[in-house]
A and B are shown apart, each in its own frame.
Chain A
Amino acid sequence: MTDTQRNILYFGFIAVLIIGTGFIQSWNSALFVLNFGLISAIMALGVNLQWGFAGLFNVGIMGFVALGGLATVLISMPPEPEAWAAGGTRVIISLILGAATIVGAILAYGALPKGRMRTIAMIAILFIGFFVYRAVFDGGVQAVEAINPANAGYLGGLGLPVLIAWPVGGLLAAGAAWIIGKTALGLRSDYLAIATLGIAEIIIAVLKNEDWLARGVKNVVGLPRPAPYEINLQNDPAFVEQAAGFGLDPVFASTIWVKLIYAGLFAAVLIVLFVLAQRALHSPWGRMMRAIRDNEVAAEAMGKDVTARHLQVFVLGSAICGIAGAMMTTLDGQLTPGTYQPLRFTFLVWVMVIVGGSGNNLGAVLGGFLIWWLWVMVEPIGLGLMQLVTSGMAEGYWLRTHLLESAAHMRLLTMGLVLLLVLRFSPRGLIPER
């Protein structure tokens, strides 16, 4: 069997899984799996760029995804003029002051000669800068959060079309990745892992606690959508007539149609990114990245700047995760910082890349779909399994209740098992790198 045939078989299998979900459960859940599968495939592409191309171990995917989500709010929500008048400018000035402090400290570090003076000067700059920043910032935040806290209490966004948020999400994630990469790349590989783990937790903490930015755990709901609202479609006589022409109920047709529009948008982004990643992989740049991955010393001897190339690919991969994050928040229609879990957003994506085949873009896409399907379906399957196991036990027996309640945690076990089995018996994944 040639590679192409095998790949067609794999993706045919994915199609059967999704279509099967449609027949057995409902078409709405099949499209739900498809849409999130598309987003997962994009995240997996980003991680594959970092791990598969360059061997960089990023466990902060959740943070970059969340930054993409933040971009959706900042770009698409209407601005809150009252909040801006009350303290918006003050908050922005304080942020500029904070950034200036850090830049000042870095400049001082570069300008002053090495020694105790430099250390003292840097600490002094950071210390004074921090207090000035807090003095300006706190008042501004209080003023902003006092304005209509039940419905707003934040600065709002720019009121631009939501699609613009997708590239902006990528830019935000790229910025964060640059800061992390600048400090942790060039050191031993584990350090990058730990630094990314940390930045992800901090980004989530900021999203949860900075109410002026995106309402924190009060969530931003009702984000503008690139697709029409179901209710508008149902009230649109032309749409109802068309649906009737296919013999469909307008409510069902509208929900399916909206999901299809999303699927089209996501598929377009995935195809563009896939083609770009594929071109990159088969360009001299891609070959250089793989050479660096396989033997850093030899690549360095050939005059390649390993740290700079690592930084480049790390920023690119994180940007893709940011785009995917913005897309996901758009699909959800809300930003809920409380739902960002590392196991779901970081480690699951890793399982996707490893299972699909690290170093192979097609493999990453395959892994994205396959593992996402598994993630959604493990819960009903696990529950069914538990019901089967416990069917012999008496109703209300403590072990039975406990097992049925814990079926939800089957997901973690299954994912861990899948990851370990693939690593052990097929370390190159389903579609290996060529």
Chain B
Amino acid sequence: MDLLNAIVALSNFVLIPAIAYGSQLALGALGVTLIYGILRFSNFAHGDTMAFGTMCTILVTWAFQSIGISGGPLPTALLALPFGIAGCAALILATDRGIYKFYRTQKAKPVIFVIVSLGVMFIMNGLVRFIIGPDDQRFSDGERFIISVRDFKALTGLKEGLAIKTTQGITVITAVIVVALLFYFLNRTRTGKSMRAYSDNEDLALLSGINPERVVMVTWLIVAALATIAGVLYGLDKSFKPFVYFQLLLPIFAAAIVGGLGSPIGAIAGGFVIAFSEVTITYAWKKVATYALPDALAPDGLAQLLSTDYKFAVSFVILLIVLLFRPTGLFAGKSV
């Protein structure tokens, strides 16, 4: 019985949050890795792209709520999501036309692109703060839980409760759908195949008649969708705050590099590696240990390896380890 309680506590505090967070990171890292594969630079504006897409979604959500449209038990934000994606895509395509295209035709060095993306980051960050302000926004509505702690206890008679938030369920389901669609697109459709060809060998792809501008445009559209979905899911699960989205850059980059920059499957694996390490290392294991271990071995303290304030340190250390021992990442990405 105690072991069962330990497992329930572990799922409640570690497994479920980490799976949800991992899905969000994976979607973010997929965006970074796609840009890296096709456009060949690390996009520092990605966190703020997520913030911008989320902001569009929030604004539409508010509009829906004010005219009485709601998603019933599901958050209204899901209905607003397509509009958010459209808003984000419009901005991203505009930045590509107005800014990145010039450097692409010049064949500028990747590091120049990175600096340009810094400028874009500034502007997007400014836009988001300008429109919605720098404060915390909560926009989740509908049912809060799929299973609440009380229901679970009544159902199983265990001492420990297990809660699954609606947002966590939605996160995982959405992520699975999005990833399935993305891989179908990349592996089965003509455009997806031309994208992969372009990523593998630009010159050969150009020779075989692939239109580079079209590949780039499709990439940006996919990135806008991925970034907005990742941002909205994160915002539903926690809350929306522009600065937090900027800070997400670090775990997202860590995830993309751990998996291997340019490798979509690696980005997903990396997202979960980072999320699970972050949650397990900053979780206080006292409760689980008290159930799982005999009384004599039960810990006195919180049994927490690092305080939650250092969660960035976790992604950073994993990043350093990967850079030191396997710079191409788990799924041998590009290392130019």
Contacts and interface: CB of A to CB of B under 8 A. Distances in A.
A130 B327 CA distance: 25
Given A183-B320, A184-B323, A412-B129, A198 B122 contact: no
Interface stretch (B146-154, B206-214, B222-230, B309-317): B309-317
Interface in B185-200: none
B319 interface: yes
Nearest to B108: A427
A7 to B, nearest CB: 24
A194 B320 CA distance: 10
Interface string B296-309: 00000100010101
A57 interface: yes
A367 to B, nearest CB: 14
A199 B130 CA distance: 29
Interface stretch (B74-82, B157-165, B232-240, B242-250): B242-250
A45 interface: no
Interface in A169-212: 183-184, 187-191, 193-195, 197-199, 201-202, 205, 208-209
B323 A202 contact: no
Interface stretch (B13-21, B60-68, B112-120, B174-182): B112-120
B201 interface: no
Interface string A394-434: 00000000000110011111111101100110000000000
Interface stretch (A263-271, A299-307, A342-350): A342-350
B323 to A, nearest CB: 6
A323 interface: no
A130 B102 CA distance: 50
A201 B102 contact: no
Nearest to A348: B122
Given A55-B111, A406-B133, A191 B123 contact: no
B126 A410 contact: yes
B89 interface: no
Interface in B249-286: 249-250, 253-254, 257, 261
A413 B123 contact: yes
B114 A412 contact: no
A423 B116 contact: yes
Contacts of B335: 187-188
Contacts of A205: 309-310, 312-313
Given A195-B319, A205-B309, A205-B313, A413 B111 contact: no
The size class of the interface chain A forms with chain B is 35 or more
A354 interface: yes
B63 to A, nearest CB: 15
B125 interface: yes
A410 B44 CA distance: 20
Contacts of A199: 316
Contacts of B307: 209
Contacts of B327: 187-188, 191
A420 B116 contact: yes
B86 interface: no
Contacts, number: 130
B323 A198 contact: no
A419 B122 CA distance: 9
Contact of A191 (B112, B125, B257, B305): B257
A406 B111 CA distance: 32
B163 to A, nearest CB: 28
B123 A420 contact: yes
A276 B82 CA distance: 56
A190 B114 contact: yes
A412 B122 contact: yes
B1 interface: no
B99 interface: yes
Contact of B118 (A187, A198, A202, A347): A347
A342 B115 CA distance: 15
B111 A416 contact: no
B129 A198 contact: no
Contact of B42 (A187, A190, A342, A413): A190
B134 interface: yes
A133 to B, nearest CB: 11
Contacts of A411: 126
Given A184-B323, A201-B250, A416 B312 contact: no
B253 A413 contact: no
A55 B114 CA distance: 13
Contacts of A209: 307, 309-310
B114 A57 contact: yes
B246 to A, nearest CB: 7
Most chain B beta-carbon neighbours within 10 Å: one of A187, A195, A412? A412
Contacts of A201: 247, 250, 312, 316
A415 B124 CA distance: 11
B246 A57 contact: no
Nearest to A201: B312
A343 B122 contact: yes
A416 B323 contact: no
A195 B119 contact: no
Contacts of A190: 41-42, 110-111, 114, 261
Contact of A419 (B119, B127, B323): B119
A412 B242 CA distance: 13
Contacts of A57: 111, 114-115
A134 B299 CA distance: 14
Interface string A52-72: 000101010000000000000
A419 B118 contact: yes
Nearest to A417: B123
B155 interface: no
B88 interface: no
A112 to B, nearest CB: 15
Interface string A333-351: 0000000001100010010
Most chain B beta-carbon neighbours within 10 Å: one of A187, A194, A195, A417? A194
Nearest to A341: B243
B75 to A, nearest CB: 25
B95 to A, nearest CB: 9
B283 to A, nearest CB: 15
Interface of B: 41-42, 44, 99, 102, 110-112, 114-116, 118-127, 129-131, 133-134, 246-247, 249-250, 253-254, 257, 261, 301, 305, 307, 309-310, 312-313, 315-316, 319-320, 323-324, 327, 335-336
3 A-B pairs with the lowest CB-CB distances in the bound complex, closest first:
A416-B122, A412-B126, A413-B126
Given A189-B110, A413-B123, 14 more contacts: A187-B335, A188-B336, A189-B114, A191-B257, A191-B323, A193-B42, A195-B319, A202-B312, A209-B310, A350-B118, A410-B130, A416-B125, A419-B119, A420-B99
18 contacts: A57-B114, A190-B42, A190-B111, A194-B254, A195-B319, A202-B313, A205-B312, A350-B118, A405-B133, A406-B129, A413-B122, A413-B127, A414-B126, A415-B122, A416-B125, A420-B119, A423-B112, A423-B116
